[in-house]
Amino acid sequence: MKTKLTIAGLLIAIALGARLPSVFARGDGFNDAVKTIEKFYRVKHQNIPLLARAGMKAVRTAARIKGGTYKKLAEAGSVRVAFFEDQDFDSRGQIASFKGALNNTLIAEWSPLVQTLAPKSEEHTYIYLREAGSKFSLLVVTIERHEAVVVEATVTPEVLAELMKDPEGMGKAVTEDATIIDN
Amino acid sequence: MKALFRTLGKLAPVVLLLLLGTAVTTRAQGAKLQLDQLDSLTNKASETMDVRIDERLMQTTAKFFSGKDPDDAQIREVLKGVKGIYVKSFTFEKEGEFTSAEVDSVMSQLRGANWSKILSVKSKKGGDNVEVYLNLAGDLINGLAVVSIDPKEFTVVNIVGPIDLEKLSKLEGQFGVPDLGIEKDKTKKKDQD
C-alpha cells in the first residue's frame, strides 16, 4: 500500500511539478519594484497621504480606450501607488540594465506583458501581470526623467480582456486612473 | 514489484494523456521564436516596444470577449487556438544604427526547416520591406512571423498557433500587433526557395 501511494504521489508530483512553485510563497512585487527603482536611481519614493488616497478615483478606464460603457478598472481598495516626484531618473545610457534588473526581480512571480523604452528621453513603462484568485493583478511601472509611479491594481478578467486590446495604452490608463484625484 | 506494475498499469492512461497534451503544446511552441537576443539593440534604439502575451493569458482573456458584440465575437474567433503573441519593435533615430548581423539571431531561426517565407508584402509605408513566414508541419500552420525591416526600424511579430494572413490583418492595431500596413490584394506569392 505504501509503495502504491509513493508511486502515485511521485507520478502526480511529476505531472504537476512545473505548476507548484507559483502557488507558494508569493513575494510583494510592488515593494520589490519600488526598491529596485530606489536602488538603481538612488532616489526615494513618497507615500500618498491617506486623505488624498481616499479622494482617488476607483479607476474608470476601459471605456476611454475603446469607447463603450463605463467600467471600473479596479476593485475599490485594491490599488497601491508609490510616487517619485522631482527626482533625477538618468540611467546614463544604462536603461537596458534597469530593465534587466526589474525583470530579474519580478520574473519569478510576474509575467512581463508590455515594456516600452525610449532611452533618449529616459521614458520607460513596464507592465506585469499575475493571477490573483479569480482576478488579475497588474503592476505598472512608469518612469520619466524627473518622476516615476508604481501602481498595482487588481482587475477582473473582463476588464483585463478589454485592456488587452490595447496593451500599450494599458499602462497609461491604469496609472492615470490610479493617480488622478476626483474633485 | 508486482504492486509497482499494477499501479503503473492503472495510471498509464493518465500519464499517456498528459504526455500527449505536452506533445501538442510542444509542437506549437516550436513556432515560438527566441527574441531575447534582440535586447542588445535596446540602448541604441530611440524607442523599443516588447509585448508578450503567452498562451495562458491569451486563452484567459479570449473567454471574456462576448459573443454578443460583433467586434468582440470576431476577436474571439480570430484568437481561437492562438497560443501566444510576441512583438519586439525597435525604432532608430538615424539610418544604419543596426546591422543585419544584429538581427540575424531572428533571421537565422526563420531560415530553419519548418519556416517558409511565403509572402513579400508591399507595405503602405513604401517598399517591399515586410516579409511573412509560416511555420508548417505538413498542412498544419503552427505559427506565423512577420519581419519588417526599414533603415530606421526593425519589428518582428511572432504569433504562435494556427493563424493566417487574413486573421493577422484583423489583429493589426490590437493585442500589441502593430499596424503593418499589409495590403492583402497586392501580396504576391514568392518562389519558395
Residues in chain A closer than 8 A to B62 (CB atoms): 161
pLDDT tens per residue, range A100-142: 999 999 999 999 999 999 988 999 999 999 988 888 899 999 9
Residue B153: strand pairing partners: B91, B150
Could you report the per-residue pLDDT of A4-42, keeping only the tens digit for each?
545 554 444 444 443 433 334 456 899 999 999 999 999
pLDDT recorded at residue B40:
86
For residue A162, how far is the Cα from the chain centroid? 17
If interface means Cβ-Cβ distance under 8 Å, which residues of chain A face chain B?
3-4, 7-8, 11, 15, 93-96, 99, 111-120, 129, 157-158, 160-161, 164-168
CA of B2: how far to CAs of A1, A12, B7, B14, in Å? 12, 20, 9, 20
Query: What residues pair up with A127 in beta bridges, in sequence order?
Result: A114, A140
Listed range (A176-180, B14-18, B44-48) with the worst mean pLDDT: B14-18
Long-range contacts of B63-67 (CB under 8 A, 24+ apart): B63/A157, B63/A161, B64/A157, B64/A158, B64/A160, B64/A161, B65/A161
Q: For residues A123 and A115, what is the distance between their CA atoms, to the nearest angstrom?
A: 11
Query: How many CB atoms neighbour CB A83 within 10 A?
Result: 15
The letter for the amino acid at A70 is Y
Are A139 and A128 spatial neighbours (Cβ–Cβ below 8 Å)? yes
In percent, the amount of chain A with pLDDT more than 70 equals 63
Contact across the interface for B43 and A157, Cβ inside 8 Å: no
Are β-strands B130-137 and B140-150 bridged in parallel, bridged antiparallel, or unpaired? Answer: antiparallel
Q: What is the pLDDT of residue A163?
A: 78
Q: Name the phi and psi angles at B71, rounded to 5.
A: -65, -45
Does the pLDDT of residue A172 top 80, yes or no? Answer: no
| Total beta-carbon pairs less than 8 A apart between chain A and chain B | 90
Tell me which residue in A4, A114, A164 faces B7 most closely, judged by beta carbons. A4
Please state the rounded mean pLDDT for residues B42-56. Answer: 89
Arithmetic mean of pLDDT, B128-146: 86
The position carrying cell 509513493 is A6
Best mutation site among A99, A164, A165, A166 for testing chain B: the one with the most B CBs within 10 Å? A164
What is the percent of chain B where pLDDT is above 90? 26
Instruction: List, for residues A37-59, the tens digit of each pLDDT value.
Output: 999 999 998 866 544 444 444 33
Please give the grid coordinates belonging to residue B166: 487574413
Predicted local distance difference test score (pLDDT) of residue A79: 78
Taking residues A152-157, what's their average pLDDT? 86
Q: Is the pLDDT of residue B48 over 90?
A: yes
Tracing cell 520619466 back to the chain, one arrives at A144
Mean pLDDT of chain B: 77
Residue B19's alpha-carbon distances to A3, A55, A74, B13, B32, in angstroms, are 23, 53, 39, 10, 20
**Three-state DSSP state, A141:** strand
For residue A102, the model assigns a pLDDT of 96
Name every chain B residue with its beta carbon within 8 A of the beta carbon of A167. 51, 53, 175-176
Q: Which of A166-170, B58-62, B133-137 has the highest mean pLDDT?
A: B133-137
Average pLDDT over residues A61-74: 40
- Region A146-171 average pLDDT: 82
Which of B61, B68, B171 best probes binding to A when mutated, by most A CB atoms within 10 angstroms?
A: B61
For chain B, the C-alpha Rg in angstroms (whole number) is: 20
Residues β-bridged to residue A129:
A111, A138
Instruction: Say how far apart CA B48 and CA B90 lie, in whole Å.
Output: 5
From A48's Cα to the closest Cα of chain B, the distance in A is 30
A interface test, pick of B14, B50, B58 with most A CB neighbours within 10 Å:
B50
pTM of the model: 0.73
> What was the pLDDT predicted at A76?
46
Q: Which one is predicted more confidently, B187 or A86?
A: A86
Distance CA A179, CA B101 (A): 44
Separation in Å, CA of B181 to nearest CA in chain A: 18
Of residues B186 and B59, the one with the higher pLDDT is B59
Q: What is the mean pLDDT of residues B111-116?
A: 89
Q: What is the pLDDT of residue B71?
A: 74
Task: Measure CB to CB from residue A11 to each of B15, B63, B175 and give the nearest one.
Answer: B15
Residue B154, pLDDT above cutoff 70: yes
Segment A158-169, tens digit of pLDDT: 788 777 777 767
Cβ A157 vs Cβ A151: under 8 Å: no
Of B7, B45, B54, the CB nearest to A7: B7
Give percent above pLDDT 70 in chain B.
Answer: 72
